[in-house]
Amino acid sequence: MFLVLLITLSATLAAACSTAPAQSPAPSATALASTPALTPSDNATSGTPLSSLPSVADIVEQVEPSVVYISVEYVESSFFFQTVRTKTGSGVMLSPEGYIMTNNHVIEDARSVEVVLPNDPTTYEAEIVGMDPFTDLAVIKIEGRDFPSVRFADTSRLRIGDWVIAIGNALGLEGGPSVTVGIVSNLDRSVALGESRNYDIIQTDAAINQGNSGGPLVDLAGNVVGINTFIISTAENIGFAINASTASRVYDDVVRTGRVTNPYLGVRLQTMTPAVASSLDLARDRGVLVAFVESGSPSDIAGLEVNDVITRFQGQEVDDAAQVIKLLWHFRVGDNVAITYWRGAEQRDTTVTLAERPEGS
């Protein structure tokens, strides 16, 4: 499986150790898939006339002005040369004051960031407000007021099969963002992003391509349900977006403090199965296995050990490692979390005081 981050790249070879910026070539690529037509016939399954659904065109008209084009210049060094490179992606304006969310991989290593809004001839120099490699999210800001903006959706109600719309600057095509339509194919996917693993991923079949990174995935109310981030290159119509439940927390932290404080348990978790229980000769075959405990971490201090099986997290039953991590992100550093676990045939309870995730972990 090959994960492809959705940025487009160009490069100009510079003289050895040169830092002079190169001219970015004009982006070009193929267009995204078009929006499927809706017929006026009734939906036989739900009984809801498709003609009564909100117009995709109306939603796009509402959201598109908030979807920005991002161009990043950075220098890639080798033993003999420095190569001036440009990568492009997307972002979504979340505040009239110019705060924009995008992906961390779009702006990492940037020496300059430029932003262009649809139907606005101005090229804005952007300031990097904060970056979070752990979630692959970042916030940048441009100077000005009264920018068109959108807001995050409450994704606790999002269901598999819900219609969604992906908007972004696919392959840097000129003329504004591209639009595609699909459904939520799955929720709560666990996917590795570089050296980190994100447990709050939406899978969609809305066509997304390189250049869509950082653009919004929106619902039929025009609210952001996710930030489009990557695709699987060996598959068709399998794209992934970081859930707004994670993105909104990162955005709030960065705008408020300039950084993200991720809560930290200090354990490596594994979903328990009958096969795992049998191989480790454990009494419990359901729950979340503690596979590793970092010395001196909150979990170590609270008394958790390798091969303990967590069954409740702050009063909620858990049987999947991804579920525990997603629940963890609802808490903040310093919060106390009640954990029920089994050690052998004995059920125990403990309280973990969450610390801040160490940088690079």
Q: List the catalytic residues.
A: 105, 136, 213
φ/ψ region of 237 (left if φ > 0, alpha if ψ in -120 to 50, else beta) reads left
- Residues 269 and 275: beta-carbon distance below 8 Å: no
Q: What is the DSSP string of 95-155?
A: STT-EEEE-HHHHTT-SEEEEE-TT--PEEE-EEEEEETTTTEEEEE-S-S------B--G
Structure tokens given for 284 = 């419990």
CB count within 10 Å of CB 334 equals: 11
Q: Calculate the CA 350 to chain-centre distance.
A: 32
Q: Could you give the C-alpha distances from 124 to 88, 98, 107, 212, in angstroms and in order?
A: 14, 10, 15, 19
Mapping DSSP onto H, E and C, the string for 281-308 reads: CCCCCCCEEEEEECCCCHHHHCCCCCCC
Measured distance CA(22)–CA(20) in Å, rounded: 7
**For residues 241 and 201, is the Cβ–Cβ distance under 8 A?**
yes
